[in-house]
Amino acid sequence: MRFAVYLGKKIVITIFLLLGITFITFSLTRALPGDPALALVGQRASPQVIAAIRKQIGAGRPFMVQYLDYVRMLSRGQMGRSYTTRKEVLKEIEAKFPNTMKLALAAMLLAVPLGVGLGFWAALRRGTRTDIFLSSLSIVGISVPVFFSGLLLMLFFSLQLKLVPPSGTGGLRFLLLPAATLALPSVATFARITRTMVLDVMDMPFIRTARAKGIWEWRINAIHILRNAMIPIITVIGLDFGSYLNGAVLTETIFGWDGIGRYGVDGIMRRDYPVVLGTVLVFTVIFIIVNMMVDIAYHVLDPRVRVLIKK
């Protein structure tokens, strides 16, 4: 019952947060330089045509009237129509969303086992050359920007070795490069955090007690050490999954992957406000949902969190 109240409060806070984000995004799109009507019809169009387009997209009305109309439209489960394609934004996002989720999940499937595994291995080899090498490699992985590593992977695996296509949307061969590009910084991040947390747990008294009792080493590593170390790691994994959706904006643009990120970038270039607002709102909702799932996972894994909620 206490947890249901806690969840209810989270949902109420989420609603106000979404309203705030829609207001900020709506304000920023209206503050962008340029005229969406000119972007649609071009500079050579007559003033009458430009005025008609502005009236059609509602650009001439007061700001608060436009915003309240947008909120009312969202309450009906709509996101408006794209200025350029005249298609419903929600339907276009629904069509592109599976590609973005496919990319994010593929990157997660690469990043979590590799990052946690390498970090755990480095912790078990504390102070050795393996530990130093993996720690140095993780620093490089965190430092290299996504767009630079993506171009390097494209140059090597596509243009030199010709193993995978350089761009496009499709099956596994098209997915490998963008997923690897998106996963690389996360592998480095997960490895560093896992190493730190595992070393902290390894130095705790209950681990020495477990070894003194003669419990098998693999059981100590898998159950006592890794499970206790995973609690903060889950938070980072959840937040990183949300950042995959932001990172997907660059990755999808570089590799021509037909997802929400690329759709949003195209909307910004065309000053297509409904597209920009729709993509930002979807990214925000997904990020919030992922954070709520992390909170629930905390509640399940860590009894101390359950005690704090009951209080």
pLDDT tens-place string over residues 231-285: 777 777 777 776 676 667 778 888 888 888 888 888 888 778 888 888 888 888 8
In a domain? residue 47? yes
pLDDT of residue 308: 46
pLDDT above 70 (res 159)? yes
- 201 and 182 in one domain? yes
N-terminal to C-terminal alpha carbon distance within the chain: 12
Question: Over the chain, what is the mean pLDDT?
Answer: 78
pLDDT above 60 (res 225)? yes
pLDDT of residue 103: 87
In a domain? residue 277? yes
In a domain? residue 19? no
- 265 and 132 in one domain? yes
CB 235 within 8 A of CB 298: yes
Task: Check residues 114 and 311 and name the one with the higher pLDDT.
Answer: 114
What proportion of the chain, given as a percentage, has pLDDT over 90?
0
- 275 and 138 in one domain? yes
- 131 and 72 in one domain? no
Tell me which range, 52-56, 62-66, 98-102, 301-305, is most confidently predicted by mean pLDDT. 98-102
Average pLDDT estimate for 27-48: 68
Domain extent at residue 60: 34-78
pLDDT above 50 (res 69)? yes
- 289 and 213 in one domain? yes
- 220 and 111 in one domain? yes
- Distance of alpha carbon 232 from alpha carbon 23, whole angstroms: 33
pLDDT above 60 (res 311)? no
Residues 6+ apart with CB under 8 A from 201: 207, 224, 225, 228, 229
pLDDT of residue 40: 64
Any idea which of 7-16, 96-105, 155-164, 206-215 has the lowest mean pLDDT?
Answer: 206-215
Burial class (CB within 10 angstroms; exposed 0-12, middle 13-18, buried 19+) of 59: middle
- Distance of alpha carbon 293 from alpha carbon 238, whole angstroms: 8
- Distance of alpha carbon 99 from alpha carbon 293, whole angstroms: 22
- 101 and 70 in one domain? no
In a domain? residue 294? yes
- 290 and 198 in one domain? yes
CB 189 within 8 A of CB 115: yes
- 264 and 134 in one domain? yes
What does the H/E/C string look like for the chain? Answer: CHHHHHHHHHHHHHHHHHHHHHHHHHHHHHHCCCCHHHHHHCCCCCHHHHHHHHHHHCCCCCHHHHHHHHHHHHHCCCCCECCCCCCEHHHHHHHHHHHHHHHHHHHHHHHHHHHHHHHHHHHHCCCCHHHHHHHHHHHHHHHCCHHHHHHHHHHHHHHHCCCCCCCCCCCHHHHHHHHHHHHHHHHHHHHHHHHHHHHHHHCCHHHHHHHHCCCCHHHHHHHHHHHHHHHHHHHHHHHHHHHHHHHHHHHHHHHCCCCHHHHHHHHHHCCCHHHHHHHHHHHHHHHHHHHHHHHHHHHHHCHHHHHHHHC
pLDDT above 60 (res 310)? no
**Structural domains of the chain, count:** 2
Nearest to 287 by CA among 251, 252, 239, 248: 239
The residue among 53, 78, 103 that closes a domain is 78
- 125 and 38 in one domain? no
- 218 and 178 in one domain? yes
CATH code (residue 187): 1.10.3720.10
pTM: 0.75
- Distance of alpha carbon 167 from alpha carbon 70, whole angstroms: 35
- 176 and 47 in one domain? no
The residue among 46, 78, 110 that closes a domain is 78
In a domain? residue 28? no
pLDDT of residue 122: 86
What proportion of the chain, given as a percentage, has pLDDT over 70?
78
